[in-house]
Amino acid sequence: MATAQSLATQGGSRPIMADATGAAALAAFARPAPLADVAVGRELIRMVEQRLGRDPARILDATDLAMLRRARPGDQIGSQTLIEMFDRLAQNTFHFDLGLQFAEWVRISDLGYVAHSWEHYAVLEDLFRAAARFIPIENAALTFRLERVGEEARAVYTLDPALRRGAEQFMETVMALGIKVVRELFIPGWVPLDVEFRHAPQASRHRLFECFRCPVIPSGLEYAIRFRASDLRIRRNVHDGVLGALIESFLEQRATAMPTDLCAEVKRTISWLLRSGHATLNETAAMLAMGPRTLQRKLKGNGTDFATLLAAVRAEIAVAYLSRDESQPIGQLAILLGYSEPSAVSRFLRETFGHDGRVLRQRLSTAAGHDRPDLLS
């Protein structure tokens, strides 16, 4: 029978011992709330004031608005706060194409360091590969990947599942900006084969066609732009290659400062996705900007697999939760473990530790009191 410690060491991470509060175990797998470059929020406020003639102070939180106004280049704002701003402004101004309007109005170079780098790529495929690398720097809740199948290609955007509720306006902006970058820098008048949304678009059908100029597929499986793979070979003259190299070097330094331990990053991503019930291989891979097969292959190279890491994270969370005071109801553990039914928690605990929640809580208390982690075996 697996113990909490044996599961915790899967993937090379150090074991976390049960303590009186379980705080250490919870903290080890807590993924910080994703942050985004403040530039998008700052420009959104400017657009509402200048294009719509509305006062954002009557709609948005005063603290968030003050932070945006005094922000400096490179500052960050919570990704959730940014998404809520788009939604709230659209609902209160009755501009249900707000996301599309913003993408049409804003200058790409005003959207932060990452967006400013796009004009320095000479080949469209190189720009897309850079996007896969650097977009999470601009917004940690968003990832991008490029897929090629035969004569077609797809630019796929993935938003953190925990933030998808109310994110329709934000994602319509993301998709519209993706197409705008190609049209302004590489192919004027570019028309993709189609655009796929996960949600039912809020803008009218006419407005969507006016912006994208191609069929829009609502309520799909992903946010994706499908186009001819031959477009990836389009080249353009780069007016300042030296500056482009400097910007990319700066972004590369920021990217390399991000976590590089794949197993640890997969565990952190799983722990975040569990809360929304989306801790699947496909969702985890998408959040890490890779396909599920690629992720499994890389995990195999590290001597583990997704199912093993998922079980390890659940075991750690269970130990942390049950190590706390006995007033914590075991039923609430279902939410933390990503289960919809409390019975699934009981089954997981019995299969993993050989005990139900009540007995496991007693053994954890005894182990902590005697400093005997072996009592969990």
Picking from 355, 331, 359, 358, the residue whose alpha carbon sits closest to that of residue 345 is 331
Residue 360 corresponds to which amino acid? L
Q: At a CB cut-off of 8 Å and minimum separation 6, what does 165 contact?
A: none
User: What mean pLDDT, rounded, does the chain reach?
Assistant: 83
CA atoms of 79 and 88, how far apart (whole Å) = 14
Give 32's pLDDT tier (boundaries 50, 70, 90).
low
Pairing of strands 76-78, 35-37: antiparallel
- Assess whether pLDDT exceeds 80 at residue 28: no
- Assess whether pLDDT exceeds 70 at residue 137: yes
- Assess whether pLDDT exceeds 80 at residue 331: no
Picking from 239, 234, 125, 146, the residue whose alpha carbon sits closest to that of residue 190 is 234
Which backbone phi and psi does 129 adopt, to 5 degrees?
-70, -35
Instruction: Say what the pLDDT of residue 150 is.
Output: 93
CA atoms of 5 and 302, how far apart (whole Å) = 19
- Assess whether pLDDT exceeds 90 at residue 160: no
Q: Is-contact 322 333, C-beta < 8 A?
A: yes
Determine whether 279 is exposed, middle or buried from the number of CB atoms within 10 Å of its CB (0-12, 13-18, 19+): buried
Q: Each residue of 93-112: pLDDT tens digit?
A: 999 999 999 999 999 989 98
The structure's pTM equals 0.70
Q: Each residue of 273-307: pLDDT tens digit?
A: 887 778 899 988 888 878 899 999 999 988 999 99
Instruction: Say what the pLDDT of residue 4 is.
Output: 45
Q: How many helices (H) and strands (E) would you count in the chain?
A: 18, 7
Instruction: Say what the pLDDT of residue 31 is.
Output: 54
Give 372's pLDDT tier (boundaries 50, 70, 90).
very low
| Span 364-373, average pLDDT | 59
Q: Each residue of 205-228: pLDDT tens digit?
A: 999 999 999 999 998 888 999 999
Instruction: Say what the pLDDT of residue 85 is.
Output: 96
CA atoms of 251 and 193, how far apart (whole Å) = 31
| Span 9-34, average pLDDT | 45
| Span 256-271, average pLDDT | 75
Picking from 93, 71, 73, the residue whose alpha carbon sits closest to that of residue 81 is 71
Strands (E) across 27-171 are located at 35-37, 76-78, 142-149, 152-159
Q: 233 pairs with which residues across the strands?
A: none
H or E stretch covering 285:
helix 281-287
Q: Each residue of 166-200: pLDDT tens digit?
A: 999 999 999 999 999 999 999 999 999 999 999 99
Q: What is the maximal distance between C-alpha atoms in the chain?
A: 71
Instruction: Say what the pLDDT of residue 97 is.
Output: 97
Give 368's pLDDT tier (boundaries 50, 70, 90).
low
Instruction: Say what the pLDDT of residue 327 is.
Output: 66
The label of the residue with tokens 């113990």 reads 3
Instruction: Say what the pLDDT of residue 339 is.
Output: 86
Sequence-distant contacts of 127-132: CB under 8 A, at least 24 apart: 127/181, 127/185, 127/186, 128/155, 128/232, 130/248, 131/155, 132/289
Instruction: Say what the pLDDT of residue 257 is.
Output: 60
Instruction: Say what the pLDDT of residue 25 is.
Output: 42
Determine the length of the chain.
377
Give 326's pLDDT tier (boundaries 50, 70, 90).
low
CA atoms of 21 and 56, how far apart (whole Å) = 43
Give 13's pLDDT tier (boundaries 50, 70, 90).
very low
Of residues 343 and 247, more confidently modeled: 343
| Span 25-50, average pLDDT | 79
| Span 109-122, average pLDDT | 85
